[in-house]
Amino acid sequence: MIDPSAVRPSARQLAWQRQELTAFVHFGPNTFTDLEWGTGLEDPAVFAPTDLDCSQWVDTLVSAGFKSVILTAKHHDGFCLWPSKYLSHSVGASYGRDVVAELSAACRDGGLGFGVYLSPADLYQEKAPGGYYGNGSTAVSSRIGDFTYVVDDYNRFYLQQLHELLTSYGPIAEVWLDGANPTSSAQTYAYDAWFDLIRRLAPDATIAIGGPDVRWVGNEDGFARETEWSVVPFAQGEMVAAQTAPAVAGPAELAQADELRWYPAEVDVSIRPGWFYHASEDSAVKSLPELLDIYRKSVGRNAVLLLNIPPDRRGQFAAPDVEALQAFGAAVRDYYETAVPLPGAINVISLREDIAAGQQVESFAVDALIDGTWTELAQGTTIGHRRLLALDTPITPADVRFRILSARAACRVTLSVHYDPTIA
Ligand code: FUL
């Protein structure tokens, strides 16, 4: 049996996890056609923001506590938010401004990390005459910048796009490889070549979802599992359990492993029902209690929260989203990053494991000293980077302590206590 206590995060995974909050920005033709998945046949002229201001996104995100942002440089419809020299179906065709460049510059100015979503599925390349997606071409030796890969037409095109994004708009913090495909047509992806190019050009970037550094938590509703391990069992190069399984790294899965990897979870969820902006959803922006519940169940369950905020047709975050983000940022600072000195009223327990030394805690209990007696408040399973436990009713203890009930190896855990008035 392989020893799960020996698995450690890479430096890039550790830096990624410590950021806790990453923003997602879905922006493209869908913003203007009111769709969630475009067709690939949109006229590039539909993409026409009336007052694009990427600094407004960055200023809002920075003040809300986000540490980086990932932009849909290309969503499934294939339209590119930068003037790629490999196709005309981009902002270069009509709009004229380079959204990727504007956001990456604003991020540099604002001190926000910048990541890219480059959809592997590409309906424009699938449907346009002469498109590369699934065209049955054979793999040939192909020059991509200074590197050579043996790939077919679509994979060459995808590598060229990656090369453009990673060399002209860097540094890149995260590359998000969405697994979804609206048509599931036959095109295989040369993942090894993609990963190799990303590692060479952006060695600090995490490669998420389809990649080796960060896994999809398995839902888009904003929560990680009660038991969320970053040490994940693999057999023959694949995760033992499906990413959506109720347990991906428990004893049953570990027993089937021929390899263990540090593979932490990312929770992607939108601040609105859709990923793209729809005016009809202006009244459906998540409330502060909802956002804080998501925070506790993502960051507070050993995951990174990837919260999507879609710009409107002006090219700015809409007022309800800005308001929600401001309230969220202030609440995280005041309630979750500020500890309550005891004695005092509390309703949140926070535990942190030093994950540079791996993830070791299997179960723990928390006790409170009330009226001179220690009483058990709660029990939990994994801790990892951070565990947040909300209490149904506030208490005013003289002291709080934790007990590790079971751990894979010695570990360092720290406790703090908090008060969140939005918990009903
Ligand atoms: C999914 C996509 O199909 C959605 O449109 C969105 O981009 C979401 C984050 O991932 O797989």
Report the alpha-carbon distance of residue 209 to residue 397 in Å, rounded.
42
pLDDT in tens, 210-229: 899 999 999 999 999 999 99
Distance 92 CA to ligand 1 centre (A): 24
Report the alpha-carbon distance of residue 204 to residue 199 in Å, rounded.
8
SS3 state at 91: helix
Identify each DSSP E strand in 159-213 by its residue range: 174-177, 206-209
Partner residues linked to 301 by β-bridges: 387
173-188 average pLDDT score: 90
Distance 139 CA to ligand 1 centre (A): 28
Q: What are the b/e assignments for 122-138, b being 16+ CB within 10 Å?
A: bbbbbbbeebbbbeeee
What pLDDT score does 244 carry? 97
SS3 state at 147: strand
392-412 average pLDDT score: 97
For the CA of 37, the closest atom of ligand 1 is: 5
3-25 average pLDDT score: 98
Partner residues linked to 71 by β-bridges: 25, 116
What pLDDT score does 155 carry? 98
Burial class (CB in 10 A: 0-12, 13-18, 19+), 225: buried
Q: Which residues line ligand 1 (CB under 6 A)?
A: 36, 178, 180, 268, 275
Q: How far apart are the first and last CA of the chain?
A: 45
For the CA of 24, the closest atom of ligand 1 is: 9
309-332 average pLDDT score: 98
Position 185 confidence tier, pLDDT thresholds 50, 70, 90 = confident
Which tokens go with 173?
A: 């913090």
Mutating to test ligand 1, I would choose from 275, 277, 307 the residue with most ligand atoms within 8 A of its C-beta, which is 275
What pLDDT score does 2 carry? 86
pLDDT in tens, 57-68: 999 999 999 999
What pLDDT score does 151 carry? 98
CB 9, CB 1: distance < 8 Å: no
Mutating to test ligand 1, I would choose from 220, 269, 277 the residue with most ligand atoms within 8 A of its C-beta, which is 220
Distance 158 CA to ligand 1 centre (A): 18
Position 262 confidence tier, pLDDT thresholds 50, 70, 90 = very high
What mean pLDDT is reported for the chain?
Answer: 97
For the CA of 276, the closest atom of ligand 1 is: 5
Report the alpha-carbon distance of residue 81 to residue 391 in Å, rounded.
45
Report the alpha-carbon distance of residue 153 to residue 131 in Å, rounded.
9
What pLDDT score does 350 carry? 98
What pLDDT score does 101 carry? 98
SS3 state at 109: helix
Position 181 confidence tier, pLDDT thresholds 50, 70, 90 = confident
What pLDDT score does 227 carry? 98
pLDDT in tens, 98-125: 999 999 999 999 999 999 999 999 999 9
Please give the torsion angle defined by the CA atoms of residues 294, 295, 299 and 303, in that order, rounded to the nearest 10 degrees: 20
Dihedral (CA of 49, 171, 37, 323) sign? negative
What pLDDT score does 130 carry? 95
Residue 298 has pLDDT above 90, yes or no: yes
Same fold for the pair 4-336 and 346-418: no
What pLDDT score does 136 carry? 95
Residue 209 Cα distances to 76, 164, 243, angstroms = 15, 21, 10
What pLDDT score does 424 carry? 76
Residue 307 has pLDDT above 80, yes or no: yes
What's 272's DSSP letter?
A: S
What pLDDT score does 180 carry? 87
176-196 average pLDDT score: 92
Burial class (CB in 10 A: 0-12, 13-18, 19+), 291: buried
What pLDDT score does 276 carry? 98
Identify the residue with better confidence: 417 or 181: 417
Position 184 confidence tier, pLDDT thresholds 50, 70, 90 = confident
Cβ neighbours for 160, distance < 8 A, ≥ 6 positions apart: 86, 144
pLDDT in tens, 42-53: 999 999 999 999
Domain-by-domain residue ranges, the chain?
4-336, 346-418
Q: Domain 4-336's class?
A: alpha beta
Domain 346-418: which CATH number of 3.30.460.80, 1.20.1260.10, 3.40.190.290, 2.60.120.260: 2.60.120.260
Residue 394 Cα distances to 238, 378, 422, angstroms = 44, 13, 11
Place of tokens 């270069």: 92
Q: Which of 1, 38, 37 lies closest to 256, judged by CA?
A: 1
Report the alpha-carbon distance of residue 120 to residue 158 in Å, rounded.
8
What pLDDT score does 280 carry? 98
Query: Which residue has the CA at smallest separation from atom 8 of ligand 1?
Result: 275
133-139 average pLDDT score: 96
Position 179 confidence tier, pLDDT thresholds 50, 70, 90 = confident
Residue 1 has pLDDT above 80, yes or no: no
Q: What type of residue sits at position 311?
A: P
